[in-house]
Structure formats: C-alpha cells, structure tokens
Amino acid sequence: MSRDSAELLSTSPELAPRRKSDLTRERLILAAAKVVGRLGYDKASSARIAQEAGIAAGGLYYHFENRQALLEELLPTLGKHMVAFVVERIAPMSWGLDREVAGFRAYLEYLADNPEFYRVFTEARVYAPAAYARNFAATLRDFEGALRAQRRHGFLKAREEDLPLAAHFLTGIRNYVSQMYFDANPPRSMNVDDAVNLYRQLLSEGLFRT
C-alpha cells in the first residue's frame, strides 16, 4: 500500500466512525473484565461496566445486544491478549525447552499485570459457558500446535498421538499454578522464579528418582 493510500484510509470519514466504535467496544470489554475481576460476573451490572468504561449507561447496548453478550466476550478477548503477550516474549527464541519455560514465565507475568484474568477465567464456566468453551478449545489448539512444532524440531519425545493429552497436562499446570498464585497470602506473593524452576525440572528431569 502506498503512503498516499494509507493516509487516505486513516482520514477516511467512512472508516473513522467504525474505528471509534471498535475502540469503544474494546474499552467496554476491558472495563467489564476489570469489574468482574473485582466483584465477579454476578455483580458486574451494566451500570458498573459503563461507569468503568467512562460511557453513558445506555451506550453499552449500542455495542452489545445485552449484558450477557458482553460477558461472553471477556474470556476470548483476554485469552487473545494473553496469547499475544506470551508470543511477543518467546517469538525471538529458538525452539526447545527454554522457549517452553519462557512461555510459562510470560503467562505468570501476564497474570501479574492483568489479575482480572483469573476470575474472568474461573467463573466463566458458570456465567459465560459459551465463552469458556471457545477459550478452552482455542487454548488447547494453540498449545497442541506449539507442541507439534517442538516435536517437529526434535525437542519433544512424546508421540504424535499423545500431543492432545500433553496439551491438557501442561494447560492444567498453568491453571492450577495460577490458582495458587492468587490464593497466596498475600495474593500474588508466590515466588515466580521457584515456580518457573520447578516447571523446568518437571519437563527436563521429572520429580521422582528411578
């Protein structure tokens, strides 16, 4: 695309309202995630979400059919943000154990920066089941794809047919470590380096002597 074309698109009056609408929609999703993170899905009223987003209460319904439609967008959106956060940190790295361990560390760093993700995720199965199903499927698909690439590059001993189960195993570690992370007293006081080092040991050496 030429520079002139790019400038034309950036100033197009037809595109400007749509771009502003998309930004407001995203702001509502992130505001709703913050409210859910503090209060839970059941207390995340439309009024509270609109106030958090800094828009008029009725503005929510311009972008979403109803409150539930908005809540169903929280986990998939945060899930995409989390994946982008992790990928940005591991993309320059070569395939192998260090890359997988760095991905685990990046996941914990994302939780530290976005603590609302944990409650949005854990309560979604009850309050936003469609969103939970979408995110779960996407997470496993992405993880399985990463494991397949590790195997293709010669770094994974698991059989091809075991990769879906391996993706479930490693996703489970992340989920339960994140629970420990937020249940710590005080919250998020768990030593991240200890968790990362143990994760490396699990993947490279195992826990048991034989």
Residue type, 196: V
pLDDT for 8 equals 32
- pTM, entire model: 0.85
- Using the predicted structure, report yes or no on whether residue 157 has a pLDDT greater than 70: yes
What mean pLDDT comes out for the span 69-85? 95
Tokens coding 101: 């361990």
Q: Where are the domains of the chain?
A: 3-204
Q: Identify the three-state secondary structure at position 93.
A: coil
> At 24, is the pLDDT very low, low, confident or very high (cuts 50, 70, 90)?
confident
Residue 96, C-beta contacts closer than 8 angstroms, at least 6 positions apart: 150, 153, 155
CB atoms within 10 A of CB 24: 17
pLDDT for 13 equals 45
What mean pLDDT comes out for the span 133-153? 95
Condensed to tens digits (0 to 9), the pLDDT of residues 42-65 reads 999 999 999 999 999 888 998 999
Instruction: Indicate left, alpha or beta for 40 from its phi (over 0: left) and psi (-120 to 50: alpha).
Output: left
**CATH code reported for the domain at 3-204:** 1.10.357.10
